[in-house]
A and B are shown apart, each in its own frame.
Chain A
C-alpha cells in the first residue's frame, strides 16, 4: 500500500483564502490618470461602460474619485461611450 504521507490535506487549502485587494495607484506610484488613455480606463468600467465600484477595483477613495473624473472626461470627448453593450 502506498504511503499516505504525501496527502497532507483532504481538500485544497488554498480554496477560500482570498487575495488581498490593493490600490494599484498607491502600489505603483501612479499620480496622474490620463483621460485620453482609453485602454487604461477600460479596467475600471464594466461591459456597459459603467464605473466599477471600489469594492471590486480595490482603489483607495482618493484615486477612485480621480478615476471617476477621468472616465467622465473621456466620455465627454467620445473616447469612452456613455452607454453601450458588450464593450469588452
Chain B
C-alpha cells in the first residue's frame, strides 16, 4: 500500500459549484480505480507567488490517497493535464514520515511544534543582542565614578 498526495490549483474564475465539482471528479476517479481517499484538504483561495495563465490567485486542493500500485498516476496526471480548469498540479509519493506528518497535521500537532522552535530561536537571538549591547556599558562606568571621586 502506497500513499500519494496530489496538489492542484483550480482556476479562480469558475463559480463555487464548478470548483467543488472539479475536485469531486478527481476524487470519484480515484475511488473508482480502487484507491482509498485518506484526506481532502481545501486550502481555499490563495495568492500565487507569480502569475500563471494571467491569473494572480488560485484555489488549492490537496488529495491524499492510498493505493496498491502506482499504475493510476499516469492516468490521473493525463486527466489533470487535459483539464482546462486545472492551472497546476503536483503529485508526490509520501514516505512513512510524510504519512505521519500529514496525520499529525490533521490532528493539530504540527503547527504548534514548528512555531515553538521559531520562537525559541527568536528569543535566543534577542538575548544575544541584549547581552552584547549591555556588556560594553558597565566597563566605562567605573572609570567615570573614579574621576568623580578624585
Min Cβ gap A8→B in Å is 10
- Please judge, given known A-B contacts A31-B101, A78-B48, whether A1 and B9 are in contact too, CB under 8 Å: no
- Interface stretch, picked from B24-32, B72-80, B142-150, is B142-150
- Please judge, given known A-B contacts A12-B136, A14-B132, A81-B49, whether A24 and B145 are in contact too, CB under 8 Å: no
Produce 1/0 per residue, A65-82, CB < 8 A to B: 000000001011111111
Asked if B1 is at the interface (CB within 8 A of a chain A CB), the reply is: no
Asked if A2 is at the interface (CB within 8 A of a chain B CB), the reply is: yes
Contacts of A76 in B (CB 8 A): 88, 90
| A37 and B7 alpha carbons, distance in the complex (Å) | 13
Question: Would you list which residues of chain A between 1 and 43 have a CB under 8 Å from chain B?
Answer: 1-2, 4, 6-7, 12, 14, 19, 24, 28, 30-32, 34-37, 40
Contact status B145-A78, CB under 8 Å: no
- Please judge, given known A-B contacts A14-B132, A79-B49, whether A2 and B149 are in contact too, CB under 8 Å: yes
Contact status A78-B52, CB under 8 Å: yes
Min Cβ gap B127→A in Å is 11
Contacts of A7 in B (CB 8 A): 139, 142
Which partner residue on chain A sits nearest B46 by CB separation?
A79
Contact status B146-A1, CB under 8 Å: yes
Which partner residue on chain B sits nearest A9 by CB separation?
B139
Min Cβ gap B7→A in Å is 6
Known: A14-B131, A28-B117. 9 other contacts (CB 8 A): A12-B135, A31-B100, A32-B100, A40-B114, A75-B49, A76-B88, A77-B90, A81-B49, A82-B50
Interface residue ranges, B against A (CB under 8 Å) = 7, 9, 43, 46, 48-50, 52, 58, 60, 62, 88, 90, 92, 95, 97-98, 100-101, 105, 113-114, 117, 128, 131-132, 135-136, 139, 142, 145-146, 149-150
Interface residue ranges, A against B (CB under 8 Å) = 1-2, 4, 6-7, 12, 14, 19, 24, 28, 30-32, 34-37, 40, 73, 75-82, 84
